Amino acid sequence: MEISLAGKVALVTGAGPNIGSGVALALARYGAVVACNDLDPAAAEASVDRIERNGGTAVAVPGDVTDEEQVTGYVQEVVERFGHIDILVNNAAVLGGRGLLDESAAFFRRAIEVAGLGSFLNTKHVGRHMAERGIRGSIVMISSSNGWSGSPGVIAYAFHKGGVNNFVRAAAMDLAPYGIRVNGFTPTAPNPDNPALIAQQGPGGVLSNPRASGIGGEGGDEPWRRPARWRGERNPLVPMGTTGTPTDIGHCVAWMCSDYARLITGTDFVVDGGARAKNFAYVPAAPSDLAGPLPVIPLDLTNGVG
Q: Taking all residues of the chain, what is their mean pLDDT, rounded to a whole number? A: 91
Flag whether pLDDT at 73 surpasses 90. yes
Catalytic annotation on 157? Answer: yes
Give the orientation angle of helix 246-256 with respect to helix 19-29, to 10 degrees.
50
> 145-177 pLDDT, tens per residue?
999 999 889 999 999 999 999 999 999 999 999
Flag whether pLDDT at 213 surpasses 60. no
Q: What is the mean pLDDT of residues 79-90?
A: 98
Of 3.30.1370.160, 1.10.3720.10, 1.10.10.10, 3.40.50.720, the CATH number of 9-289 is 3.40.50.720
Q: Which of 124, 157, 278, 282 is catalytic?
A: 157
Flag whether pLDDT at 304 surpasses 70. no
Q: What is the mean pLDDT of residues 25-33?
A: 98
Sheet strand arrangement including 58-60 = 58-60, 33-36, 9-12, 87-90, 138-142, 181-187, 268-271
- Contact at 8 Å (CB) between 182 and 166? no
Flag whether pLDDT at 23 surpasses 90. yes
pLDDT at 302: 86
pLDDT band at 274 (very low <50, low <70, confident <90, very high): very high
pLDDT at 215: 65
Strand residue runs (E) in 153-279? 181-187, 268-271
Q: What is the mean pLDDT of residues 219-242?
A: 84
CA neighbor of 154 nearest in space, from 107, 100, 193: 100
Give the orientation angle of helix 19-29 with respect to helix 41-53, to 10 degrees.
40
Q: What is the mean pLDDT of residues 66-89?
A: 98
Flag whether pLDDT at 211 surpasses 70. no
Domain boundaries, the chain: 9-289
> How do strand 138-142 and strand 87-90 relate by DSSP bridges?
parallel
Q: What is the mean pLDDT of residues 60-68?
A: 98
Catalytic annotation on 124? Answer: no
CA neighbor of 23 nearest in space, from 227, 265, 248: 248
Q: Which of 30, 74, 161, 260 is catalytic?
A: 161
Strand partners for 89: 12, 140
pLDDT band at 235 (very low <50, low <70, confident <90, very high): confident
